[in-house]
């Protein structure tokens, strides 16, 4: 493993690259094949098999995956597509690049409150906010957990609503024996350094419709046709255009590098053991913390939602309502102990200044549970290697020592 340089004794992100990952990366550099090629296609195929989707398209980040999934959902090549000024339902606890592609392509966001027990969309609030203008439900699977995605799928099927699953934090999590990211029209994933598998940066989009797959291939690389299996059709139709550069659709350049695919592929081969390690480390921190019974009611550990088997991204925690006014002090004390923390994604996103800048909450919707999570919530990291029990005990004891003060 590579060494980490961090002021924290227990950092959020710990070394992620193994010797075989590094060796594979070096072999790609030595080969001279820098841009995506055979290894990328092999990784895409194996990733699709792992999650249980028909098709997978690798890109340079999870944010780019969200961008392409959104663009594909309104694409003229697609029969069931959204149009400008249609509504999208999105949870108030989300990431910025979950939201911005929706805005860039003209959707009007309707923010949905979350279930504080899962940190994911509240199904009842979602049902209340569906209107005749709702064309997209953008699910964000938070920190490895999920809403009742089958119920969301049932609702969307009845009303022909497109589902995009942002699974960037939840690769390997399962709902009723089916991997998250495969219930909707599109599922997006991230291979950033802190995620369940990593290539430093990188992302993936999965789908089950061949036409959607072809659209994604064009969108990923400039809008050209040459990566698609119907490329010859366009060559024949446009004989006066250089066949290497026939542009048939919108286009971006969000291609991954071959080295990213090679490293992520190596990590995918280890995902089951990495998942086992992450969940073990999390369970041990909680188990060791709960031995000190006097602090058990001062914080709440978020657990797997009903029917979900999580591949946890971190250890999400809610401070008790009684102590929430001390949250800033508690966080500072935990970090002074040497444990790095983060908010629950970005907290209640409607509080962000960009929402006001773009006038995205004109109705001044209040999201009670999202606000509560912002005021009470944070998470600490978990390692993909089985962590020494001394370190796990240090984390649990440090949390208890901080809470003893209150």
Whether residues 159 and 277 share a domain: the answer is no
Per-residue pLDDT tens over the stretch 157-216: 989 999 999 999 999 999 999 999 999 999 999 999 889 999 999 999 999 999 999 999
For residue 4, pLDDT over 60 is answered with: no
What pLDDT is attached to residue 129? 97
What pLDDT is attached to residue 362? 82
Whether residues 110 and 243 share a domain: the answer is yes
For residue 96, pLDDT over 70 is answered with: yes
Taking residues 278-306, report their average pLDDT.
96
DSSP 48-71: HHHHT-SEEEEES-HHHHHHHHHH
Q: Is 195 an active-site residue?
A: yes
How many domains does the chain divide into?
2
| Out of 12-16, 234-238, 243-247, 258-262, least confident range | 12-16
Instruction: Provide CB contacts within 8 A for 136, sequence distance 6+.
Output: 73, 82, 86, 87, 88, 89, 102, 107, 161, 162, 163, 164
CB 305 within 8 A of CB 120: yes
What pLDDT is attached to residue 8? 86
Whether residues 309 and 253 share a domain: the answer is no
Among residues 240, 268, 296, the one where a domain terminates is 268
What pLDDT is attached to residue 13? 84
For residue 105, pLDDT over 70 is answered with: yes
CB 28 within 8 A of CB 39: yes
What pLDDT is attached to residue 6? 62
Q: Is 3 a domain residue?
A: no
Burial letters for 193-207: b for 16+ Cβ neighbours within 10 Å, e otherwise?
A: ebbbbbbebbbbbbb
Identify the band that residue 16 occupies on the pLDDT scale cut at 50, 70 and 90. Answer: confident
What pLDDT is attached to residue 1? 43
- The single residue of 141, 195, 231, 265 carrying the catalytic annotation is 195
What is the span of the domain harbouring residue 63?
Answer: 19-268
Whether residues 60 and 189 share a domain: the answer is yes
- In terms of DSSP H, where are the helices of 238-346? 258-268, 271-290, 327-336
Among residues 243, 268, 293, the one where a domain terminates is 268
Q: Which residue has the tokens 């590098």?
A: 257
Identify the band that residue 121 occupies on the pLDDT scale cut at 50, 70 and 90. Answer: very high
Q: Is 4 a domain residue?
A: no
Q: How far is the C-alpha of 328 from the C-alpha of 376, rounded, in Å?
A: 9
Residue 8, SS3? coil
Q: How many CB atoms lie within 10 A of CB 326?
A: 16
| pTM for this model (two decimals) | 0.96
Residues facing 378 on adjacent strands: 317
Among residues 268, 301, 327, the one where a domain terminates is 268
Domain at 359, CATH number? 3.90.1150.10
Average pLDDT score over the chain: 95
Nearest to 1 by CA among 276, 387, 341: 387
Q: How far is the C-alpha of 300 from the C-alpha of 401, rounded, in Å?
A: 16
């Amino acid at each position: 493993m590579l060494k980490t340089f961090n002021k924290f004794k227990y950092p959020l992100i710990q070394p992620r690259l193994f010797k075989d990952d590094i060796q594979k990366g070096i072999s790609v550099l030595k080969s001279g094949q820098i841009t995506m090629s055979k290894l990328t296609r092999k990784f895409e195929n194996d990733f699709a098999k792992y999650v249980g989707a028909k098709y997978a398209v690798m890109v340079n980040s999870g944010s780019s995956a969200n961008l392409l999934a959104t663009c594909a959902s309104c694409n003229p090549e697609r029969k069931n597509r959204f149009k400008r000024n249609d509504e999208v339902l999105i949870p108030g606890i989300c990431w910025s690049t979950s939201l911005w592609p929706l805005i860039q392509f003209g959707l009007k966001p309707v923010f949905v409150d979350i279930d504080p027990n899962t940190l994911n969309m509240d199904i009842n609030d979602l049902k209340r906010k569906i209107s005749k203008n709702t064309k997209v439900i953008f699910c964000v699977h938070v920190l490895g957990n999920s809403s009742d995605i089958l119920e969301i799928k049932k609702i969307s099927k009845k009303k022909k609503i497109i589902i995009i699953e942002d699974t960037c934090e939840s690769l390997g999590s399962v709902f009723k024996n089916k991997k998250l990211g495969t219930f909707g029209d599109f599922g997006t994933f991230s291979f950033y350094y802190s995620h369940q598998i990593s290539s430093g940066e990188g992302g993936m989009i999965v789908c089950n419709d061949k036409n959607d797959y072809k659209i994604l291939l064009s969108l990923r690389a400039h809008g050209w046709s040459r990566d698609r299996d119907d490329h010859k059709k366009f060559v024949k139709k446009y004989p006066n255009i250089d066949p290497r550069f026939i542009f048939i659709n919108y286009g971006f350049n969000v291609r991954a590098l071959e080295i990213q695919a090679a490293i992520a592929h190596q990590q995918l081969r280890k995902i089951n053991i990495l998942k086992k390690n992450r969940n073990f480390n999390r369970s041990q921190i909680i188990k060791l913390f709960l031995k000190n019974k006097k602090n058990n009611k001062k914080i709440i550990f978020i657990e797997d939602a009903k029917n979900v088997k999580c591949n946890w991204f971190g250890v999400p925690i809610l401070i008790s309502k009684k102590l929430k006014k001390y949250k800033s002090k508690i966080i500072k004390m935990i970090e002074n102990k040497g444990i790095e923390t983060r908010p629950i994604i970005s907290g209640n996103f409607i509080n962000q200044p960009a929402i006001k800048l773009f006038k995205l909450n004109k109705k001044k919707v209040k999201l009670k549970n999202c606000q509560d999570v912002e005021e009470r919530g944070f998470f600490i990291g978990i390692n993909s290697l089985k962590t020494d029990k001394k370190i796990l005990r240090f984390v649990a004891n440090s949390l208890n020592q901080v809470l003893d003060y209150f």
